[in-house]
A = this chain, B = another copy of it.
Amino acid sequence: MAAPAHPFGMRVLVPFAAERPKTRLDGLFDAAERRAFARAMLDDVLAAVRAAGHEPTVLATAPVEVDAPVEVDERALSPAVNDALADAGPAADDPVAVVMADLALATPAAVGRLAAAQGPVVAVPGRGGGTNALVVRHPSFRVDYHGASFLDHRRVAAALDADVTVVDSYRLSTDVDEPADLVEVLLHGEGRAADWLADAGVELAVDEGRVTVDRE
Chain A residues with CB under 8 Å of chain B are 109-110, 113, 124-125, 127-129, 146-148, 150-151, 168-173, 180, 183-184, 187-188, 204, 206, 209-211
Asked if A168 meets B204 with Cβ closer than 8 Å, knowing A147-B211, A187-B148, the reply is no
Copies of this subunit = 2
List the B side residues contacting A147 at CB < 8 Å: 206, 209, 211
B169 and A128 within 8 A (CB): no
List the B side residues contacting A146 at CB < 8 Å: 209
B129 and A187 within 8 A (CB): yes
Q: How far in angstroms is the closest Cβ of chain B from A177? A: 9
Q: How far in angstroms is the closest Cβ of chain B from A173? A: 4
A-B contact sample (18 more), CB < 8 A, given A127-B183, A148-B204, A169-B169: A110-B168, A113-B168, A125-B170, A125-B187, A128-B180, A128-B210, A128-B211, A129-B183, A129-B187, A146-B209, A147-B206, A148-B187, A148-B206, A168-B169, A168-B171, A170-B170, A170-B172, A170-B173
A158 to B128, CA, bound (A): 34
A8 to B109, CA, bound (A): 31
List the B side residues contacting A187 at CB < 8 Å: 125, 129, 148, 150-151
Considering the complex, give the chain B residue whose CB is closest to the CB of A166. Answer: B188
Of the candidates B113, B128, B183, B184, the one whose C-beta lies within 8 Å of that of A183 is B128
Most chain B C-beta atoms within 10 Å of own C-beta, residue among A109, A129, A183: A129
Asked if A188 meets B109 with Cβ closer than 8 Å, knowing A169-B168, A170-B169, A173-B170, the reply is no
List the B side residues contacting A183 at CB < 8 Å: 127-129
B188 and A148 within 8 A (CB): no
